[in-house]
Amino acid sequence: METVVRIHNESEYNEILQQAVAVIETARSNAACAIISTSNEMHWRIGQLLYERKLDSAHGDGVVKRLSVDLKSMYPKMGMSVSNLWAMKKYYVRFHLSDPKLQRCVGVLPWRHINQLMTKLKDDDNAIQYYAEKVIEKGWSRDLLVNAINLEMHKHQPEANMSNNFAIALPEAQAAYANEVFKDSYCMGFLGVTELLLELELERRLVEKIKKFLLELGQGFTYIGNQHVLSYNGKDYKVD
């Protein structure tokens, strides 16, 4: 006889649903990470092959072009363009003698992130390590990574510029934890920010970006105004 399990209230069901979603999202995330790692292993080995065969732009351009044509015909969706093949060699050459910790960090990043790191930071292992760890920790998109590099965030780490009194106001362990919680900084490169801003100026720039975005969406969206006054229960509230 089949046993009937009853859910006593909605919150109990929501808890079950959330746990199931968490399991699925974790599995999806793990699968995505595995795909990226496997793909980068392929990039690494193809780059190693080109390096060991001593193929370069002067003595191997024709070979790489032919290789690209053949590989694209066999694997049309795997990004086997000429430029990508050269990027694979660059990837191997750039990191095959690097510290294993750096290799592991870079090896789990999306391919476009790796290319940005190689292009913009070249031989700066410490900077590459910093940004690779931030991408892993915070899930930065490529655009956020580029903005962070352009702002040279690795030279202005929050730990070196603490503007708080945690160290004197809290016990040592709590002060360290508080600094860890509050040390993150926002990447404002999309606003053209390269220095400290007053709060009102930061608000103005954010509102301008939001306004432009909403207007570009077309029908179905509207922008009423900045600091628009709404009255509720005898009080006025200013909202954007």
**pLDDT tens, the chain, 240 aa long:** 555 556 667 788 888 888 998 899 889 888 888 989 999 999 999 999 999 999 998 889 999 999 999 999 999 999 999 999 999 999 999 999 999 999 999 999 999 999 999 999 988 999 999 999 999 988 888 988 998 898 888 887 655 445 566 566 666 545 544 454 455 545 555 555 544 455 556 667 777 777 776 666 666 666 666 666 777 777 776 665
Shared domain check, 115 and 180: yes
**Per the domain annotation, does 71 fall within a domain?**
yes
Shared domain check, 86 and 15: yes
- Dihedral sign for Cα atoms in the order 204, 209, 211, 212: positive
Shared domain check, 146 and 116: yes
Shared domain check, 109 and 93: no
Domain count, the chain: 3
Shared domain check, 84 and 37: yes
DSSP state at residue 109: S
pTM over 0.75: no
**Per the domain annotation, does 191 fall within a domain?**
no
Among residues 186, 211, 228, the one where a domain terminates is 186
**Per the domain annotation, does 4 fall within a domain?**
no
Shared domain check, 81 and 17: yes
The set of residues, in sequence order, having a beta carbon less than 8 Å from that of 185 and lying 6+ positions away, is 153, 158
Structural domain span for residue 75: 10-97
Would you state the pLDDT for residue 168?
A: 62
Shared domain check, 71 and 17: yes
Shared domain check, 26 and 92: yes
Among residues 48, 68, 97, the one where a domain terminates is 97
DSSP state at residue 78: S
Would you state the pLDDT for residue 38?
A: 93
